[in-house]
């Protein structure tokens, strides 16, 4: 039985609108929980229904809960936001208030997409084949970064959330993440994937351990990127599928990609262990679907599940380590949403329940009817849970559409079906 899961929110959404009042509004939608950002990245957000203002600039890499600084590596210590650096502790207050209303409380944490720490520690950041160091992302192959990620997980578990929803617990792509990104030369599919590969010292060491010639892979990446930027790449290749990358004929490249999957899988295993030791559970967030549909709500090409390797994600292996697997199904067409969900279900192989995340607003949805159609196809695909993104960013009409769609298509929060029959 598919259930309505959590509504994503920022902690300042709850604080500025009133924690109790906002959670009561969320509970009235029929969802079973709230996913509150515990750490987040740099952003400029337009907020349609906030009482205090309309535009918020978010500093990257902040902790919105009170961190235990001593848990973290000395060179990668967190920074508390203005919400959690004083005597008040609204994160804990929100968890308690959610429990009082029968709502699940999920800590939504951005792990490695951290512009503050990447800027402070370039030696721990992703580095491309040209030697350019990322200002936005830490590399999961770094032992120090892994220690930071495990410390973040154990620190969050201390606050006893129902789950930790782990975002950016993998390698980044080549684009998205910095302000005013510009590119006026053609960077076609495979070249874009190669430009996103990391060749930092930790990745090079891991490649040597796996018997992979990383320098040959880096040289290939440079050649393919430069060919694309010069306009010489094949424009018929629209997507960096595994087949398209394999067509380059480099076994070292394929070995390098598998090495990235191993690194991410090993780190997720450590994160899952740290959370379970602290009494919490891991929801791994797969972001490929967001990358495909974020701007237009009209993704094309291969299903996201078949492209997760691009970020170093091995869906089947990570499913065996995670308590639940979240996929961002950002698409306007219910048929596409159903296709994406089916592909993830096959890739998961029953090892972990699937949480599908939908956007109830543009460009994905224009109202309750569209949202309800997606809930129907997700129920048909035996998706365990449907979550919704995002309370503060959606117009209030879109927030209310969640309740309208859930009322007719998914079990209510109390566990009974909408018609009153037992689920």
Span 36-67, pLDDT tens digits: 999 999 999 999 999 888 999 999 999 999 99
Handedness of CA 165, 170, 176, 178 (dihedral sign): positive
Whether residue 335 contacts residue 377, with contact meaning beta carbons closer than 8 Å, is answered with yes
Return the closest-CA partner of residue 402 out of 103, 28, 35.
Answer: 28
Confidence of residue 187 (pLDDT cuts 50, 70, 90): confident
Q: 232-249: b or e for each residue (b if 16 or more CB lie within 10 Å)?
A: ebeeebebbbeebbeeee
Alpha-carbon distance values, 333 to 115, 253, 306, 338, 397 (Å): 34, 35, 19, 9, 20
Choice among 52-56, 151-155, 332-336 with the minimum mean pLDDT: 52-56
| SS3 of residue 106 by DSSP | strand
With a cut of 90, say whether residue 178 has pLDDT above it: no
Torsion angle (degrees, nearest 10) of CA 214, 219, 223, 224 = 0
Locate 240 and state its tokens: 């960096």
**Residue 80 parent element (H or E):** strand 79-80
Which has the higher per-residue pLDDT, 325 or 84? 325
Alpha-carbon distance values, 40 to 10, 79, 163 (Å): 9, 11, 17
Q: What is the pLDDT of residue 180?
A: 65
Confidence of residue 235 (pLDDT cuts 50, 70, 90): confident
Please give the distance of CA 170 from its chain centroid, rounded to a whole number.
9
Q: Whose structure tokens read 């949805």? A: 365
Confidence of residue 85 (pLDDT cuts 50, 70, 90): low
Q: What is the pLDDT of residue 413?
A: 55
Q: What is the mean pLDDT of residues 125-146?
A: 97
Locate 115 and state its tokens: 């512009």
Which has the higher per-residue pLDDT, 420 or 386? 386
Choice among 55-59, 114-118, 268-272, 290-294 with the minimum mean pLDDT: 290-294
Locate 156 and state its tokens: 């969050």
Locate 351 and state its tokens: 């090892």
With a cut of 50, say whether residue 326 has pLDDT above it: yes
With a cut of 70, say whether residue 11 has pLDDT above it: yes
Tens digits of per-residue pLDDT, 377-410?
999 999 999 999 999 999 999 999 999 999 987 7
User: What are the φ and ψ backbone dihedral angles of 200, each rounded to 5 degrees?
Assistant: -70, 175
Torsion angle (degrees, nearest 10) of CA 33, 35, 38, 40 = -170
pTM score, two decimals? Answer: 0.95
Euclidean distance between CA atoms 102 and 151, whole angstroms = 29
Q: Are strands 62-63 and 33-40 parallel, antiparallel or unpaired?
A: antiparallel
Supply the mean pLDDT for the chain: 93
Euclidean distance between CA atoms 413 and 423, whole angstroms = 12
Return the closest-CA partner of residue 374 out of 313, 289, 295.
Answer: 289
Return the closest-CA partner of residue 413 out of 4, 26, 21.
Answer: 4
**Residue 195 parent element (H or E):** helix 189-195
Locate 208 and state its tokens: 């040597």
**Residue 34 parent element (H or E):** strand 33-40
Whether residue 390 has a cis bond before it, omega within 30° of 0: yes
Q: What is the pLDDT of residue 423?
A: 28
Give 10's contacts (C-beta < 8 A, 6+ positions apart): 36, 37, 40, 64, 390, 391, 392
pLDDT > 70 fraction of the chain, expressed in percent and rounded: 94
Return the closest-CA partner of residue 76 out of 124, 39, 40, 135.
Answer: 124
Whether residue 320 contacts residue 358, with contact meaning beta carbons closer than 8 Å, is answered with no
Helix-helix angle 251-277:201-209, to 10 degrees: 110
Return the closest-CA partner of residue 216 out of 252, 174, 264, 180.
Answer: 252
Whether residue 393 contacts residue 47, with contact meaning beta carbons closer than 8 Å, is answered with yes
| SS3 of residue 264 by DSSP | helix
Burial of residue 320 (CB within 10 Å: 0-12, 13-18, 19+) is: middle
Q: What is the pLDDT of residue 269?
A: 98
């Amino acid at each position: 039985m598919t259930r309505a899961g959590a509504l994503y929110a920022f902690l300042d959404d709850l604080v500025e609108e009133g924690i109790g009042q906002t959670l009561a509004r969320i509970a009235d939608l029929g969802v079973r929980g709230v996913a509150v950002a515990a750490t987040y990245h740099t952003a400029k957000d337009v907020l349609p229904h906030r009482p205090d203002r309309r535009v918020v600039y978010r500093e990257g890499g902040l902790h919105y809960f009170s961190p235990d600084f001593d848990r973290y590596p000395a060179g990668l210590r967190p920074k508390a936001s203005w919400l959690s650096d004083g005597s008040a502790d609204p994160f804990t207050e929100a968890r308690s208030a959610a429990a009082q209303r029968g709502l699940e409380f999920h800590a939504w944490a951005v792990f490695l997409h951290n512009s503050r720490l990447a800027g402070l520690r370039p030696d721990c950041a992703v580095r491309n084949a040209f030697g350019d160091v990322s200002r936005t992302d830490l590399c999961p192959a770094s032992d120090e970064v892994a220690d930071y990620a495990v410390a973040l997980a154990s620190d969050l578990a201390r606050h006893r959330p129902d789950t930790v929803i782990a975002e950016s617990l993998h390698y980044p792509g080549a684009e998205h993440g910095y302000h005013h990104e510009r590119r006026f030369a053609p960077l076609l599919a495979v070249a874009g994937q190669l430009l996103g590969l990391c060749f930092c010292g930790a990745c090079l060491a891991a490649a040597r351990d796996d018997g992979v010639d990383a320098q040959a892979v880096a040289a290939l990446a440079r050649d393919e990127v430069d060919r694309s930027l010069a306009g010489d790449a094949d424009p018929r290749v629209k997507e960096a599928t595994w087949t398209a990358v394999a067509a380059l004929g480099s076994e070292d490249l394929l070995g390098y990609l598998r090495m990235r999957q191993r690194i991410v899988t090993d780190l997720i295993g450590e994160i899952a262990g740290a959370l379970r030791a602290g009494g919490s559970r891991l929801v791994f967030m797969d972001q490929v679907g967001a990358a495909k549909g974020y701007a237009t709500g009209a993704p094309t090409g291969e299903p996201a599940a078949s492209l997760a390797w691009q970020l170093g994600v091995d869906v089947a292996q990570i499913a065996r380590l995670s308590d639940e697997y979240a996929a961002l199904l950002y698409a306007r067409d219910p048929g596409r949403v159903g296709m994406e969900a089916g592909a993830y279900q096959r890739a998961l192989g029953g090892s972990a329940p699937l949480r599908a995340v939908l956007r109830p607003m543009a460009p994905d949805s224009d109202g309750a009817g569209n949202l309800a159609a997606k809930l129907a196809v997700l129920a048909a695909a035996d998706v365990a849970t449907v979550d919704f993104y995002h309370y503060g960013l959606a117009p209030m009409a879109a927030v209310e559409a969640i309740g309208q769609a859930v009322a007719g298509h998914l079990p209510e929060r109390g566990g009974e079906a909408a018609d009153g029959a037992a689920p």
